[in-house]
Amino acid sequence: MDKEKQLFTASLFLSGKPLDIAFLNKLLDPFNLENRLLEYSEEFNKQENGLKIRFISGGFQMAADPTLTQTLEKYFGERSETLSRGSLETISIIAYKQPVTKAEIEKLRGVDCSGTMRTLLDKNLITVAGRKSVPGRPLLYVTTRYFLEYFGLNDLSELPTFMEWQALRSRQQ
């Protein structure tokens, strides 16, 4: 394995979070870098060593092979804590309607969401993106890059459409 591949995989191992191209451009030769990184990832993933390199949240990340998750969770627990139903409803509204105000979210949910919003902000799943140009200038909320990482998405276009969501929901019932 050449030094660039070693630097790439070691960086992913040490970071514990997705590393974006901007960071990797500083570390490695930027010429045609993205194509090389995809090749390195593909080569690494063929080794079947229990780890996979995935492109997520706009960057590369090393993670346990998903086929091992069920076994590993018995010993290490789930990777992340679960969100309450209210938190999932709220973050779904934000993800699909962003930028959105708290009042708009509460109108859709029909309940106060102050505590839920605070939790999502504390977990860095949402952030304030400015103020809406209406009387009172309420805060606007959007999802963060960590939201993409948390839900295993590369970008918001990977969220299911309403039709896809309905199909998934009917299969679960």
170: tokens are 């009917």
pTM of the model: 0.66
Q: Which of 36-40, 54-58, 62-66 has the highest average model confidence (pLDDT)?
A: 36-40
Position 173 scores a pLDDT of 63
Position 121 scores a pLDDT of 94
122: tokens are 């504390």
Domains and CATH numbers, the chain: 3-75 (1.10.10.10), 85-172 (1.10.10.10)
Percent with pLDDT over 90 in the chain: 57
Average pLDDT of the residues in 75-94: 82
Burial class (CB in 10 A: 0-12, 13-18, 19+), 49: exposed
Position 81 scores a pLDDT of 62
User: Which are the contacts of 51, defined by CB distance < 8 A and separation ≥ 6?
Assistant: 44, 62, 63, 64, 65
Q: pLDDT digit string (tens) for 87-146?
A: 999 999 999 999 999 999 999 999 999 999 999 999 999 999 999 999 999 999 999 999
Asked if 51 contacts 62 with a C-beta cutoff of 8 angstroms, the reply is: yes
Does residue 73 register a pLDDT over 90? no
Strand ranges in the chain using DSSP code E only, listed in sequence order: 19-20, 51-56, 59-64, 100-101, 126-131, 139-143
